[in-house]
Amino acid sequence: MRRLYVAGNWKMNTTRTSGVDLATAIAAKVPAEGCPVDVLVAPPFPYLTAVSDAISGSGVKLGAQNAYFEASGAFTGEVAVDMLRDVGCDAVILGHSERRHVLGETDETINRKVLASLEGGLPVILCIGELLEDRKADRTEAILDEQLTGGLNDVSAEQLSEIVLAYEPVWAIGTGETATPEQAQAAHAYTRDWIRRKYGDAPADAIRIQYGGSVKPNNAAELLGQSDVDGALVGGASLKADSFTAIIEAAI
């Protein structure tokens, strides 16, 4: 059985104070020992240290929302993998649709970030997912193929064990429109099958695939009940402690 994994992507939201309050409230519900699901929060970079302090002693992991592939140097505005580890990050979200479609990241850039993170010892949540126009044109699987091929280029089977995939249909992110449980299950099954074809049975059976796209307390249980859905990557609903902890409870 794969352990479910619920992650909150705060995007460019919260203040230092509201972020610490949110993290403190979540941490109070996630004990260091005995929580049956993995839980992560990914605050904006400037609040990583404050949030790290707030979740200290709990079972909540700390995530970053991005990382750069170079180790150091003249890359104004970028943040290196070692810096993220240095402030206590347990994982990094890469390839989020906003990084792809708003900020112009390509599969090649994302792959360099994936490799740098894994080589630097920082586990990765790698996001994939199709635009509405792709789904309407029946190109969902082709897009997943493209993003998996690009994002996982040169990733070994051993390194794959440090990756969690997040299937996030772009048309469902922040829109209030959720994929139906059947749509999510179909895309997750396709993704797992893709991993099986490239890496074999054991990695495919082990890899966790989160669903993301307007996950809320009222739809979480049904989505998480699908056989190939191993958790959730949550945006909007991760900004309210009650909603996020209700989603965690749905996963337990």
Nearest by Cα to 128 from 166, 154, 180: 166
8 Å CB contact between 167 and 125: no
Residue with tokens 């200290």: 56
**In the stretch 180-219, what mask flags binding to ligand PEP with x, by CB under 6 A?**
--------------------------------xxxx----
Asked whether residue 227 is marked as a ligand-binding residue, the answer is no
Tell me the window of 60-68, 118-126, 184-192, 229-237 that interacts with ligand PEP (CB under 6 A). 229-237
Marked catalytic residue, from 105, 168, 188, 222: 168
Output 92 or 237, the one with its CB closest to ligand PEP. 237
Task: State the nearest-atom distance from the C-beta of 95 to ligand PEP, in Å.
Answer: 11
Q: How far apart are CA 102 and CA 201, in angstroms?
A: 35
Does 236 help bind ligand PEP (rule: CB under 6 A)?
A: yes
Q: Which of 174, 180, 200, 252 binds ligand PEP (CB under 6 A)?
A: 174
Considering only residues 8 to 27 of the shown chain, the ones binding ligand PEP according to CB under 6 A are 9
Tell me the window of 50-58, 65-73, 143-151, 231-239 that interacts with ligand PEP (CB under 6 A). 231-239
Q: Which amino acid, 117?
A: S
168 among known catalytic residues: yes
For 158, other C-beta atoms within 10 Å of its C-beta total 9
8 Å CB contact between 84 and 67: yes
Task: State the nearest-atom distance from the C-beta of 34 to ligand PEP, in Å.
Answer: 27
**In Å, what is the CA distance from 1 to each residue of 36, 127, 233?**
12, 22, 19
Q: Round the CA-based radius of gyration of the chain to a whole number and report it.
A: 17
Task: State the nearest-atom distance from the C-beta of 93 to ligand PEP, in Å.
Answer: 8
**In the stretch 57-96, what mask flags binding to ligand PEP with x, by CB under 6 A?**
----------------------------------------
8 Å CB contact between 173 and 127: no
8 Å CB contact between 36 and 252: yes
Output 9 or 52, the one with its CB closest to ligand PEP. 9
Give SS3 for 167. strand
249 among known catalytic residues: no
Residues in contact with ligand PEP by the rule CB under 6 A: 9, 168, 173-174, 212-215, 233-237
Just list the catalytic residues.
96, 168
Annotated binding site for substrate: 9-11, 174, 214, 235-236
